[in-house]
Structure 1
Amino acid sequence: MKTIEPAEHIKTIAEYYFSVKLAEVARMNSEGKNVISLAVGAPDRMPSQKTISKLCEAACRPDVHAYQPYTGIPELRKAYADWYGRIYGVELFTDEVLPLIGSKEGVLHISMTFLNYGDGVLVPNPGYPTYTSVSNLLRANVIQYDLMEDDNWQPDFEALEKMDLSQVKLMWVNYPNMPTGANASAGLFEKLVAFGKRHSIIICHDNPYSFILNDKPMSILSVPGAKDICIELNSLSKSHNMSGWRMGVLASNPQFVRWVLKEKSNIDSGQFKPMQLAAVEALSNPLEWHAEMNSIYAGRRLWAEKILDLLQCTFDKRQVGLFVWGKLSDKVADSESFIDDILYNARVFITPGSVFGSNGDRFIRISLGSSEEKIQEAYHRINAYLSTLQ
Structure 2
Amino acid sequence: MITADRLQSVQEYYFSKKLREVRGLVNEGRPIINMGIGSPDLAPSPKVLQTLKEAISDMGAHQYQSYQGLPQLREAIADFYQSKFDVTVDPAGEILPLMGSKEGIMHISMAFLNEGDEVLLPNPGYPTYAAVTNLVGGKPVMYSLKGENGWFPDLDELSQMDLSKVKLMWVSYPHMPTGAMAKKEQLKSLVNFARSNDILLVNDNPYSFVLSNNPTSILSIDGAKDCTLELNSLSKTFNMAGWRVGMVLGNKEHINAVLKVKSNMDSGMFYGIQKGAIAALQSGPEWFEALDEVYNKRRELMFNLVEKLGCEYDKNAVGMFVWSKLPKNASPSEEFIDQVLYEKDIFIAPGTIFGSNGEGYIRFSLCVKEEKITEAIERF
Residue 378 of structure 1 corresponds to which residue in structure 2?
376
The one-letter amino acid paired with 1:322 is M
Residue 13 of structure 2 corresponds to which residue in structure 1?
16
Alpha-carbon distance in 1 for matches of 2:9, 2:308: 38
Alpha-carbon distance in 2 for matches of 1:346, 1:118: 46
Residue 256 of structure 2 corresponds to which residue in structure 1?
258
SS in 1 for 2:63: coil
The one-letter amino acid paired with 1:28 is L
Residue 386 of structure 1 corresponds to which residue in structure 2?
none
TM-score w.r.t. the length of structure 1 is: 0.96
Alpha-carbon distance in 1 for matches of 2:223, 2:66: 29
The one-letter amino acid paired with 1:301 is R
Task: Mark the runs of 5 or more structure 2 residues left unpaired by the alignment.
Answer: none
**Deviation of 1:168 (Å):** 0.1
Alignment partner for residue 248 of structure 1, among 237, 246, 249?
Answer: 246
Alpha-carbon distance in 2 for matches of 1:27, 1:202: 43
Pairwise mapping of residues 1-390 of structure 1 onto structure 2 (< 5 A)?
Answer: 4-94=1-91, 95-381=93-379, 383=380
Alpha-carbon distance in 1 for matches of 2:253, 2:334: 43
**Deviation of 1:267 (Å):** 0.4
SS in 2 for 1:364: strand
SS in 1 for 2:312: coil
Alpha-carbon distance in 1 for matches of 2:45, 2:366: 19
**Deviation of 1:297 (Å):** 0.2
The alignment-based identity, stated in percent, is: 48
Per-residue CA deviations over 1:125-163 (Å, capped at 9, x if unaligned) read: 000000000001111110000000110100001111111
**Deviation of 1:83 (Å):** 0.5
Per-residue CA deviations over 1:63-100 (Å, capped at 9, x if unaligned) read: 20000000001110110011000100000111100000
The one-letter amino acid paired with 2:118 is G
**Deviation of 1:62 (Å):** 4.3
Alpha-carbon distance in 1 for matches of 2:261, 2:232: 19
SS in 1 for 2:266: coil
The range that moved more, 192-201 or 52-61, is 52-61
Alpha-carbon distance in 2 for matches of 1:45, 1:187: 34
Alpha-carbon distance in 2 for matches of 1:61, 1:286: 25
The one-letter amino acid paired with 1:45 is L
Alpha-carbon distance in 1 for matches of 2:60, 2:3: 42
Per-residue CA deviations over 1:303-331 (Å, capped at 9, x if unaligned) read: 11111111111111111111000100112
Task: Mark the runs of 5 or more structure 1 residues left unpaired by the alignment.
Answer: 384-390
The one-letter amino acid paired with 2:245 is M
Which structure 1 residue ranges, 4+ long, deviate > 3 Å from structure 2? none
Alpha-carbon distance in 1 for matches of 2:166, 2:279: 39
Alpha-carbon distance in 2 for matches of 1:333, 1:380: 22
TM-score w.r.t. the length of structure 2 is: 0.99
Alpha-carbon distance in 2 for matches of 1:171, 1:98: 20
Per-residue CA deviations over 1:171-227 (Å, capped at 9, x if unaligned) read: 000011011110121011100100010000000000000000000100000000000
